[in-house]
Copies of this chain bind each other. A is one copy, B any other.
Amino acid sequence: MGEFELIRNFFAAAPCAQVGEGVALGIGDDCALLDVPFGEQLAISTDTLVAGVHFADPCDPFLLGQRSLAVAASDLAAMGATPLAFTLALTLPAVEADWLEAFARGLNLMAQGCGLRLIGGDTTRGPLCLTLTVFGRVPRGQALTRSAARPGDLLCVGGELGNAAGALPLVLGQRSATPAIAEPLLAHYWSPQPQLALGQALRGKASSALDISDGLLADCGHIALASKVRLLIENDRIPVSLALQEFLGDADAQQAALSGGDDYVLAFTLAAVELPTLLADGWPIHVIGRVVEGQGVGLLDVHGQDITPTIRGYQHFRSE
C-alpha cells in the first residue's frame, strides 16, 4: 500500500467520514452514493485553494483545514441549502504525518460544525492545492439564486464586513496588533462561520442571495447583473466591527468593508414585508440599502449623494 493510499484510509477513519443520513455509500468504492429526498434538489459548489495564492505557504494546517471547508460551505449557505456532504481533493508535495493530522483535525471540526460528511475525493502528489466540492439539499424551487432581486426590495447583509480583509496584514506578518484587536480579526479570517442557518431561514423570503467573497461592491454587482437591477448601498449603514475601526481607522475600515474579500457573510435582497418576522426571530440582519431599476451598484453618503468609488475593488489575496 502506497503512502497516498494510507492517507486515504486516514481520512476515511475521520469522524466526519462516517456514513449517516443522506449518505448511502461513503469513501472506498468507485463512487459515493447520495440520497436526495423526494421534492428536493442537490446544490453543488466547488472551490480551489492554491498555496501561495489563496493562503500563505507555509501556514497552520489546522487553520487551513478549518478555513478551506468554511469557504466552500459558505456557498451552500448562499443558496439556502442544508449541508449534506463534501469531497476533498488534496494535492501534497510530501506526506508529513503531523501536518496531515492537524489539517484533518481542522477539517473535521468544521465539517461536524456544519453537518457535512466527507464522502470521497482524491489524494495526489504535487504542489500544495485543495479542491473541495460541497453538497447540500434544498426544497425544489426554493434555492436562493442571484437573479430574482426586484426594484423595491431591501438590500441586507448578515453581519459585520471587512474583518477578513483587515486581518490580512496580520496573517501575512506585515503588521501586529493587541490581542483585543488581533483575535477577532484573525478568528474571522481563519474560521469564518458559514451562515447556513440564516440561509435556510431566508428560503421563500429573500429574492436573491450570495455570500460575500469578492467584497461587498463586487458581489452586489453580481446580483445587479444577474437580476438586471441597480443596488444602492448607504455607506453609513454598513456594519463594521470596533476591532476593525481601531486597527485601520474609520476610512480604511470602511474601504475594507466595501472592497475587502473573504467575509463569507450573506448579502441578500427581500421585500420589506419579510423583515419584521426575521428580525423578531433574532436573525442578524442589517439593512444597508435598496434595489432600484437600472444597473450596477451605487454608493450613497448620509445625505443621499452618490459617492460610488471609481476604482474597482483592489485585487485582494483571494481574487483568482
Contacts and interface: CB of A to CB of B under 8 A. Distances in A.
Contacts of A89: 46-48, 89, 131
B78 A47 contact: no
Contact of A43 (B28, B31, B75): B31
B131 A122 contact: yes
B44 A126 contact: no
A308 interface: no
Interface residues of A, number: 64
Given A226-B28, A319-B2, A44 B120 contact: yes
Contact of A33 (B38, B42, B51, B91): B42
A91 B31 contact: no
A24 B41 contact: yes
A147 interface: yes
Interface stretch (A60-68, A138-146, A244-252, A299-307): A138-146
Given A36-B42, A79-B31, A131-B131, A48 B210 contact: no
A176 interface: no
Contact of A143 (B25, B125, B140): B25
B131 A50 contact: no
A146 B54 contact: no
A226 B12 CA distance: 14
Chain A interface main SS type: strand
B136 A46 contact: no
A312 to B, nearest CB: 9
Contacts of A135: 44
A4 B41 CA distance: 29
A274 interface: no
A22 to B, nearest CB: 10
Count chain B CB atoms within 10 A of each CB in A31, A38, A123, A125 and give the residue with the most: A31
Contacts of A34: 41-42, 44
Contacts of A49: 124
Contacts of A211: 30
Nearest to A122: B48
A47 B87 CA distance: 10
Contacts of A133: 46, 87, 133
A210 B125 CA distance: 23
10 A-B pairs closest in CB distance: A50-B126, A30-B78, A31-B43, A131-B131, A127-B127, A89-B131, A4-B320, A36-B36, A48-B122, A30-B75
Count chain B CB atoms within 10 A of each CB in A52, A89, A126 and give the residue with the most: A126
A36 B147 CA distance: 23
A138 B51 CA distance: 37
A41 B48 contact: no
A77 to B, nearest CB: 8
B79 A320 contact: no
